[in-house]
Amino acid sequence: MEIEFSGAAREVTGSCHILRAAGKTVLLDCGMFQGKRKESAEKNKRLPVPVDEIDAVVLSHAHIDHAGRLPLLVARGYERTIWATSATRDLCALMLADSAQIQEKDAEYLSRKNKETVEPLYSMKDAVQTLEVMVGVPYHKWFEVVPGVVRAMYVDAGHILGSASVIVEATENGTTKRLVFSGDVGRSGLAIIRDPEPPTRVAADAVIMESTYGNRDHVPVDTARDDLGRIVRETAARGGKILIPAFAVGRVQEIVYDLHVLARAKRIPEIPIFIDSPLATDATTVFEMHPEVFDRSEALVQDVPKLFEFPLVRFTRDVAESKALNTLNGPAVIVAASGMAESGRILHHLAHGASDPRNTVLVVGFMAEHTLGRRIVERRPMIKVFGDEIPLRARIEILNGYSAHADRTELARWLDAVRGVSPSLREVWLVHGEPEAQDALTGALSAKGYRVSCPAPGERRAL
């Protein structure tokens, strides 16, 4: 078996690894590159391998940096199977359609600006066709990826709904080798979903592991919920609103869940909570469709049939309802996309609320450089929303505890568990991390006796 590292190699986005065995080719993920606009656009257009050489795709989870280029494969003629967990498939129905819409809008904008026709990376039709070749499979069951050559099994990665680590077994010339691909590893104790399960059902010969936070530790998950409660209480006491920019899929549901827990325990006052994002509303429905992947050890999951419905919460869908929130008097929580406050309805709420010192802007996710979210984190005195300069007088609070990625200690623990059942483990290949994080984790793992390397794009490793 041979692995070629195509995307998320020495960087975080564009997850894609090419597995070749006995003349067959399987892609692990086919994600979108994100970041600097022009550079990413160029990288996204180039397929990792010609479509007619790909025998199957095995997808780890629905995030766009892992699944975002699947419709491009289909647009270029890919008709074979894309394997995923059932919840991942259902989330992809929303996320790939959303991504297609963004591609189409971007192309329209560029066409107008450059006065020449710019084709979108892919269209809504391609996103819909992608769903037709996606097959949902349960955790813990082998499935035949390429019959007789490659089979695989998903275990829970505890990162987002439906996320998986993958055990891949390939047979070539009568010899069978096993590769473990971590996907994105979550954190223990995250709301709703189960804790990450290291793939220890069989022994592995090599591991491809993510390394997003290879150089830092997070604050405990429980602290984040306590802080959320405190921030809501303090802001409500000032008569202000809590504005939360959040990713529509995953983060919004966690926040709603935690507010539900806090409301039930009467740890927050009875103020209205608005989820002002159509995509988040749809994604919440997908969550409700998959109680089989919920963490049954959590009290709320055990006690309440509807995790996301309680008297204080409203899901606003249409634009009129959303606009009405601008004239709302008195304390409220407003959760809206986009996560980095670059687009979406959160912009309207910031335009109306950022200058009021009674309000709080609550940051619950990573804000990349050059985004409005980052300028809020930096507490700039003025921010630009819809072209207008607005004084940033609202209180800014930052909660890092909502990260969906394992920190360096959790990654090492995950890997130790795999090594514990793998006497023939030869190599660990780090992916999905900035060089700084990867180099730090390489040092830490080498000190524990692992043979670690961080493959660059295009590098190959034999197994």
The β-bridge partners of 391 are 382
Structure tokens at 296: 């049954």
The distance of closest approach from Cβ of residue 74 to Zn ion in the complex, given in angstroms and rounded to an integer, is: 21
Least distance CB 11 / Zn ion (angstroms): 11
Choose between 11 and 184: whose C-beta lies nearer to Zn ion. Answer: 184
169 near Zn ion, judged by CB under 5 A: no
Rounded CA separation 442/454 (Å): 8
Q: Which residues contact 413 (CB under 8 A, 6 or more apart)?
A: none
Tell me: does residue 65 bind Zn ion (CB under 5 A): yes
What helix, strand, coil percent values describe the chain, rounded to 5?
35, 25, 40
Does 184 interact with Zn ion (rule: CB under 5 A)? Answer: yes
Contact segment (CB under 5 A) with Zn ion among 69-77, 115-123, 127-135, 182-190 equals 182-190
Residue 101 backbone phi and psi in degrees, to 5: -65, -40
**Smallest separation, CB 60 to Zn ion (Å):** 8
Which of residues 65 and 156 has its CB atom nearest to Zn ion in the complex?
Answer: 65
Q: In terms of CB distance, is 26 or 185 closer to Zn ion?
A: 185
When binding is defined by CB under 5 A, the residue of 10, 17, 63, 251 that contacts Zn ion is 63
| Contact flag: residue 156 with Zn ion (CB under 5 A) | no
- Stretch of 20-28, 181-189, 194-202, 217-225 contacting Zn ion, by CB under 5 A: 181-189
Q: Which 309-328 residues touch Zn ion, going by CB under 5 A?
A: none
Q: Is residue 187 close enough to count as binding Zn ion by CB under 5 A?
A: no
With b for 16 or more beta-carbon neighbours within 10 A and e for fewer, the 165-194 pattern comes to bbbbbbbbeeeebbbbbbbbbbbebbbbbb
> Which ranges of 265-398 does DSSP label H, i.e. alpha helix?
278-288, 299-303, 319-324, 346-353, 372-377
For residue 337, give both structure tokens: 């996309």
Stretch that binds Zn ion, among 49-57, 78-86, 179-187, 326-334 (CB under 5 A): 179-187
Indicate the residue among 66 and 395 with the shorter CB distance to Zn ion.
66
Q: Which is nearer to Zn ion, 59 or 333 (CB)?
A: 59
Matching residue, tokens 């949902």:
136
Instruction: Rank residues 162 and 199 by Cβ distance to Zn ion and give the closer one.
Output: 162
Q: 81, 135 in Cβ contact below 8 A?
A: yes
**Given the rule CB under 5 A, which of 176-184, 197-205, 272-280, 347-355 is the region that contacts Zn ion?**
176-184
**Interface size with Zn ion, residues (CB under 5 A):** 3
Helix (H) or strand (E) holding 6: strand 2-7
Give me the residues that bind Zn ion (CB under 5 A), please.
Answer: 63, 65, 184
